[in-house]
A and B are shown apart, each in its own frame.
Chain A
Amino acid sequence: MVAHSLAAAKRLRKELQNLQRHKDEDDDICLIPDSDNVLKWAALIRGPKDTPYEGGVFHLSIVCGTEYPLAPPTMTFVTKVFHPNVHFRTGDICLDILKKEWSPAWGLQAACRAILALLSAPDADSPLNCDAGNMIRGGDDIAFQSMARMYTVENANFLRWPTKEDREEALAS
């Protein structure tokens, strides 16, 4: 019988192995496991091209419960970001696949990819940041773009994108 209480750790170790095998791919996402706790991770993602987030490096915190992967991981922006679907103060993310459309078919890497897609395609109709949502809904794209750009420059320019060696070291734990 499978010890399901250990399933989360087992699955995350598997995901880690996959990351180690494919560490040269997906250059816009860098997942970093916590060396003491397999349920805790950090991720760095690179702001997508042709968005106000371009050039920024954003830090995400990831916490998996023991019900992972049946239940979604809790993912939040640590780096401040101006985006309709990210809470400006708490960094909470409103994304259906992190809530009721989550399924174990996703994983940490895929969830990060979905967050990148969210940065490229904000959904102004379910805003956590009403100011950002209103700018887009009101058709004032210039205002939204310049605010988002300003916060990217102000907050997301401090982290260096990890080199290949950095990544290898982070995943080696």
Chain B
Amino acid sequence: MSARIGVVTFPGSLDDQDAARAVRIAGAEAVSLWHGDADLKGVDAVVLPGGFSYGDYLRCGAIARFAPVMQNVIDAARGGLPVLGICNGFQVLCESHLLPGALIRNDVRKFVCRDQWLRVENANTAWTSDYAEGQEILIPLKNGEGGFVADDRTLDELEGEGRVVFRYLHDNPNGSYRDIAGITNERGNVVGLMPHPEHAVERLTGPSLDGVGFFSSVISQLVDA
């Protein structure tokens, strides 16, 4: 039986269909989860997609964390359920305190959409096991508030515990501290990043196929388990 991966739709989610397509391309079943419905439908993993949940007129992700579905996502994540937050989803994970730090307006004061090189710093998380440590991957990036910030102690802790999962290569696009593009929790089941791996899963529509590994990683772990 193939793995079932849930994709949450909040009002204002934009890349939810794209995340579901990536899940299917990687060989799993995509299950649509609705923000107002607490039921996780027994999924094996959850993706919080990109977009502007509730318009993001307050801090990005600040309202989404209170959605009925999120309480169960938060509890399940603490219990080890693999959760991937992409862009707005990463912001929701930070607001939910599943991941430390915060995302602020890009230092360039503009929305940035471009193909971004990343280095995989940790290939032991639920979502990166199909990569090699140090591997360089090309993934689209598109956000206005993608600057990752945290206090020095938190940053040192993240670095010390190997919880920085991705770093921007060449040119930091948004002023993220220490070029951090994505991080994980202590257990390695929750990963958040600003770039969009779901947009690098088809030759026709993406700059590479480097995003497939996110989804294949979690699928192979679910199958092994």
Asked if A and B are interacting partners, one says: no
